[in-house]
Amino acid sequence: MSLKCGIVGLPNVGKSTLFNCLSSAKAQAANFPFCTIEPNVGVITVPDERLTRLAELVHPGRIVPATCEIVDIAGLVKGASKGEGLGNKFLGNIRETDAIIHVLRCFDDENIVHVDGSIDPIRDKEIIDTELQLKDLETIDSRLAKEQKAAAAGNKDAKVMASVLTAYKEALDKGQNARTVNFDTPEEEKVARELFLLTAKPVLYVCNVDEASAKTGNAYSQRVEEAAQTEGAETLIIAGKTEEDIAGLDSYEDKQLFLEELGLTESGVNRLIKKAYSLLNLETFITAGEMEVKAWTYRKGWKAPQCAGVIHTDFEKGFIRAEVIKYEDYIKYGTEAAVREAGRLGIEGKDYVVQDGDIMHFRFNV
């Protein structure tokens, strides 16, 4: 289960700058590679200090972190839903992502042209939102009449679908994003998910600020935060240009020093990936053995057999039990044997809800 995030925003707001930060983050730790699949698609590893610390104890052949695919989606402008700019192709790119990273320009710079002539992140956000909403309305309108007709003829599934489509349409007609709509029943939620609406995807607003505002943000980013709050969305402040400079530094120490000067403890890239994980309710369990220490991604709330299935479907089908070590215990006692001796190795059944950072060993038969 690899996470896929798309970076969207108007031209010249700093999307590619952010993408470049991500792509040079590879230098941050030698074992954490980034590779570019296409010029605008990259895979970054999810930063997780726990893997490094466990590896110091286990000395595995390799460390395998979780990965996240990032797509720099350019070409979204006013009228994109009608095919303006690079239009539909890019809306298609967005449809394939799990989460949207919406970059908003929150910096002044006369040398960098703004397509609409002034700096106004709220207006910018609405331009992009509107294009995505129009596309969603198109998706809805192409189905609504048909589903309503089938519902009237007594088809139960069509009835659920028609009510979901209608609820979405009402919100979108008011200029609201689909993600603001809540459904009452699991059936509706399921159908809603299957529509893959663009504005139903979780979003993270990234305020791209000037260097001086890297820590606390500025008046622009404050407005974005207020707007995001009203729709229950998250924001992140990143000084894109500065982070790009930092990413270009050679040593880890130099990078930390630069970050500290800005009043930050962690790079924007790290904060971004972590936010994306929590946005999507994703957590990490770990397997630790001689061959590898590896991070696995699962959705918060999943039980042991489901998590076993992330590794292999046979693990889920033949699940017997899970042996669970808490990360802190592994660090404290140093080896699996010592943890066992201390009576801290948990033997868990099929109802165990896996917790972030759990070191799992699944027992199964096939």
Ligand X SMILES: Nc1nc2c(ncn2[C@@H]2O[C@H](COP(=O)(O)OP(=O)(O)O)[C@@H](O)[C@H]2O)c(=O)[nH]1
State how far the Cα of 66 lies from the Cα of 139, in Å rounded to an integer.
Answer: 33
- Cβ atoms of residues 112 and 12 within 8 Å: yes
Nearer to Mg ion, 17 or 177 (CB): 17
Tally helices (H) and strands (E) across the chain.
14, 13
Q: Which does 213 bind (CB under 5 to 8 A by kind): Mg ion, ligand X, none?
A: none
Enumerate binding residues for ligand X (CB under 6 A).
9, 11-17, 107, 109, 112, 208, 210, 239-241
Least distance in angstroms from the C-beta of 226 to ligand X: 21
**Residue 53: Cβ within 10 Å count:** 14
Least distance in angstroms from the C-beta of 15 to Mg ion: 5
Q: Which does 268 bind (CB under 5 to 8 A by kind): Mg ion, ligand X, none?
A: none
Least distance in angstroms from the C-beta of 113 to ligand X: 9
Q: Which does 107 bind (CB under 5 to 8 A by kind): ligand X, Mg ion, none?
A: ligand X
**Residue 111: Cβ within 10 Å count:** 4
Nearer to ligand X, 131 or 316 (CB): 131
Least distance in angstroms from the C-beta of 16 to Mg ion: 3
In degrees rounded to 5, what are phi and psi of residue 345?
-90, 120
Q: Which does 122 bind (CB under 5 to 8 A by kind): ligand X, Mg ion, none?
A: none
Least distance in angstroms from the C-beta of 119 to ligand X: 11
Q: Which is it for the CA torsion 11, 233, 22, 131, positive or negative?
A: negative
Binding-site residue set for ATP: 12-17
Q: Which does 12 bind (CB under 5 to 8 A by kind): ligand X, Mg ion, none?
A: ligand X
Give whole-number Cα distances, 360 to 318, 340, 356, in Å. 16, 13, 11
Nearer to ligand X, 111 or 365 (CB): 111
Nearer to Mg ion, 57 or 119 (CB): 119
Nearer to ligand X, 69 or 210 (CB): 210
Nearer to ligand X, 96 or 109 (CB): 109
**Residue 219: Cβ within 10 Å count:** 8
Enumerate binding residues for Mg ion (CB under 5 A).
15-16, 74
Sheet strands (E) in the chain:
3-8, 35-38, 41-45, 62-64, 67-72, 99-106, 203-209, 234-238, 282-288, 292-299, 319-325, 346-348, 359-364
Least distance in angstroms from the C-beta of 244 to ligand X: 7
- Count the alpha carbons within 13 Å of 231 in the hemisphere toward its beta carbon: 25
Sequence-distant (≥ 6) Cβ neighbours of residue 347 within 8 angstroms: 321, 322, 323, 324
Q: Which does 9 bind (CB under 5 to 8 A by kind): Mg ion, ligand X, none?
A: ligand X
Sequence-distant (≥ 6) Cβ neighbours of residue 110 within 8 angstroms: none
Amino acid at 331: I
